[in-house]
């Protein structure tokens, strides 16, 4: 399977965000649509283990794929499930417990995991539990979760991970989090990276001209 190294997708959010939404929308529907049009077929099973506001699931359903997902935040889960035809395929749980739910083997996995700047203490993968604070705990948990994801992927199943590096500016310094590099390292024990696609936004948001789409296959 061959992939372009650079693509352009219009930035357009097609589904209105819920009233509780902050700044968690990392990619528009057009990116998922591009992936599914080029790398899947009707009837394929599509998984998003960090379902968020359901972008992957809604587009998969629209394109006659079968969506599956896990979302830890109950508010987001309820909002997505209320609108999803295949709502029974969405689980309100931690992605680390993926194997407990007897999901079938997936044909495509598309996700954008929760981001964590390295200078933050709270860990989004543990619901901000202070016992698991810190960036290293975040990366260790990410590696564990993706090891579980690999177990429900077919041998030929592609994994697409949308991720951005983070830059935090204070009055005295800039703090850079190399999240793209660190996520790649988290996946190395279970996956082989096959591409890194630069996704240019055709009509970008301010200060967000492009994103990174990492592509992997199982080891």
Local structure of residue 147 (DSSP, 8 states)? H
Burial grade of 29 (CB within 10 A; 0-12, 13-18, 19 or more): middle
Q: What per-residue confidence (pLDDT) applies to 104?
A: 97
* C-beta separation of 7 from 199 below 8 A: yes
Question: What does the domain layout of the chain look like in residue ranges?
Answer: 6-218
Local structure of residue 46 (DSSP, 8 states)? E
What is the reported pTM?
A: 0.95
Q: What per-residue confidence (pLDDT) applies to 22?
A: 66
Q: What per-residue confidence (pLDDT) applies to 24?
A: 58
- Mean pLDDT by runs of 10 across the 219 residues of the chain is 85 87 77 97 98 97 98 96 98 96 97 95 90 96 98 97 93 92 98 97 86 96
b/e sequence 154-166, b meaning 16+ C-beta within 10 Å: eeebbbbbbbbeb
Q: What per-residue confidence (pLDDT) applies to 63?
A: 98
Architecture in CATH of 6-218: 3-Layer(aba) Sandwich (3.40)
Q: What per-residue confidence (pLDDT) applies to 33?
A: 97
């Amino acid at each position: 399977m061959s992939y372009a190294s650079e693509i352009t997708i219009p930035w357009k959010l097609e589904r209105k965000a819920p009233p509780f939404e902050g700044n968690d929308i990392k990619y528009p529907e057009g990116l998922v649509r591009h992936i599914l049009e080029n790398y899947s077929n009707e009837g394929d099973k599509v998984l998003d283990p960090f379902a968020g506001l359901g972008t992957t699931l809604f587009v998969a359903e629209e394109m006659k794929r079968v969506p599956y997902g896990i979302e830890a935040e109950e508010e987001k889960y309820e909002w997505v499930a209320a609108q999803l035809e295949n709502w029974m395929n969405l689980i309100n749980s931690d992605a680390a417990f993926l194997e407990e739910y007897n999901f079938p083997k997936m044909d495509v996995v598309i996700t954008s995991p929760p981001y964590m700047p390295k200078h933050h203490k709270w860990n989004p993968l543990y619901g901000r539990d202070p016992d698991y604070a810190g960036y290293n705990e975040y990366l260790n948990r990410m590696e564990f979760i993706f090891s579980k994801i690999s177990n429900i992927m077919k041998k030929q199943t592609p994994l697409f991970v949308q991720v951005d590096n983070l830059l935090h500016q204070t009055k005295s310094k800039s703090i850079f989090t190399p999240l793209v590099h660190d996520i790649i390292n988290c996946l190395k024990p279970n996956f082989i990276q096959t591409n890194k696609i630069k996704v240019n936004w055709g009509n970008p948001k301010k200060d967000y001209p492009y994103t990174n789409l990492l592509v992997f296959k199982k080891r």
